[in-house]
Structures are given as structure tokens and as C-alpha cells.
């Protein structure tokens, strides 16, 4: 009897492969092997590897959004920022393939409406957390970009093996978040004086 597969199953298989072996190890032959089907059978469901990678980005963004949302629930201001930042780093560590596909493949499919929506939803979690501060419109956008850049920069350098000094990296990350929060709070105070 012929094995029935779905696009979701193909995507999840590709994601698991990326997390286990790295994004560069994801190809149609390996996906088909994992699914126990012939490579050609995949084309009944997908157009090619690029199609799979776009689906992987959408899937991974959804997973990261869920993780960040759960971390932020019931938290406010400083605690919310810390919770989201810790959850972000943990996701990048535990699901390195998914994190890599978000960061390296998203721009290739920016015209895909489902992908744009998935990215929007995940970024909205960060925006909602920072909206608890007295920042609005452009200021809030700057703050969101700052937090995202800080988190991504740290976990990317960490993944690349740049932190060789024996100083605890978790403590470095904590100090970085504290510094960021202090900057946002100082921005709030400055705004009040200017009003």
C-alpha cells in the first residue's frame, strides 16, 4: 500500500532534520529517506526544496512565537523582557535548525503572504512586551529592533563559538538585557522631562 504523506509531514520532517543535523543537511533526498518514500514522490506535494524551506520558515516562526508568548504571559515590563529574552536564547540553542532557517531563509520568500504573516505574529509578541513602556510609534519600533538585534547578535556569536573566555555566557546575557532595560527606562524618563 502506498504511503500517504502531507505537506505538513514533509515540513516537520525537514525541521527535525535541520534541528538534528543543521540546515545545510536538509535536502529532498534526506527528507524522502526519513519519510520512507522515493524522492520523486515528494513532487506530488511540493514544487522543490525552496518550497519546503519557505514552509519551514513559517513553521519555525510559529514555534518561536508560541515559545515567546508563553514566556511573556503574566509578566510585565522588566520581567517580561527578561522572560522573552531567555526564551529566545533557549529556542535558538534547542532548535538551532529552526532558528537558522528563520534568520537565513526568510528574506528569500518575503513576497509569500503566509510567511509575512507568520513573521508579523512572532514580532508582535516582542512589540507587545515593549508596549508596556511609555514608547509609541517610531520609538516603539526602535525599541523592538534594538531588543531583537541584541538577542540575535548574542545567540549568533554564541553559536559561532566566539565566546571562548571562561566567563559565564548566561551571566553576560543577563547583564546585556539589564543594560538594554536600563536604556529603555532612561528613555522613558527623558521623554517625561521633554513633555
77: left (phi over 0), alpha (psi -120 to 50) or beta: left
Identify the pLDDT of residue 104. 86
Distance CA 150, CA 136 (A): 20
**118 near 62, Cβ under 8 Å?**
yes
Distance CA 105, CA 30 (A): 19
Identify the pLDDT of residue 1. 47
- Taking CA atoms, 25 is separated from 8, 15, 45, 161, in Å, by 19, 11, 21, 20
Distance CA 127, CA 130 (A): 5
For CA atoms 126, 128, 134, 135, the dihedral sign is positive
Phi, psi of 18 (to 5 degrees): -65, -45
Provide the H-helix boundaries in 22-168.
Answer: 28-35, 49-72, 77-94, 96-105, 113-130, 138-159
Print pLDDT tens along the chain (195 aa).
Answer: 456 789 999 999 999 999 999 999 999 999 999 999 999 989 989 989 999 999 999 999 999 999 999 999 999 999 999 999 999 999 999 999 999 999 988 777 777 899 889 999 999 999 999 999 988 889 999 999 999 999 999 999 988 788 887 788 999 999 999 999 999 998 877 766 666
Q: Grid coordinates standing for 88?
A: 529566545
How far is C-alpha 102 from the chain's CA centre? 6
- pTM value surpassing 0.75: yes
**99 near 155, Cβ under 8 Å?**
yes
How far is C-alpha 105 from the chain's CA centre? 12
Identify the pLDDT of residue 195. 61
**25 near 18, Cβ under 8 Å?**
yes
Amino acid at each position: 500500500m502506498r504511503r500517504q504523506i502531507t505537506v505538513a509531514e514533509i515540513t516537520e520532517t525537514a525541521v527535525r532534520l535541520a534541528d538534528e543535523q543543521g540546515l545545510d543537511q536538509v535536502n529532498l533526498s534526506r527528507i524522502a529517506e526519513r519519510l520512507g518514500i522515493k524522492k520523486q514522490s515528494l513532487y506530488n506535494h511540493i514544487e522543490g526544496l525552496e518550497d519546503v524551506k519557505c514552509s519551514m520558515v513559517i513553521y519555525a516562526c510559529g514555534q518561536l512565537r508560541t515559545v515567546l508568548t508563553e514566556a511573556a504571559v503574566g509578566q510585565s515590563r522588566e520581567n517580561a523582557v527578561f522572560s522573552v529574552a531567555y526564551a529566545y536564547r533557549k529556542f535558538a540553542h534547542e532548535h538551532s535548525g529552526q532558528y537558522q532557517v528563520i534568520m537565513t531563509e526568510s528574506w528569500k520568500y518575503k513576497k509569500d503572504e503566509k510567511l509575512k504573516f507568520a513573521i508579523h505574529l512572532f514580532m508582535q509578541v516582542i512589540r507587545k512586551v515593549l508596549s508596556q513602556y511609555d514608547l509609541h510609534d517610531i520609538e516603539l519600533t526602535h525599541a523592538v529592533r534594538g531588543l531583537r538585534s541584541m538577542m540575535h547578535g548574542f545567540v549568533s556569536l554564541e553559536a559561532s563559538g566566539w565566546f571562548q573566555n571562561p566567563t559565564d555566557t548566561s551571566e553576560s546575557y543577563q547583564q546585556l538585557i539589564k543594560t538594554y532595560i536600563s536604556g529603555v527606562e532612561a528613555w522613558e524618563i527623558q521623554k517625561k522631562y521633554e513633555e
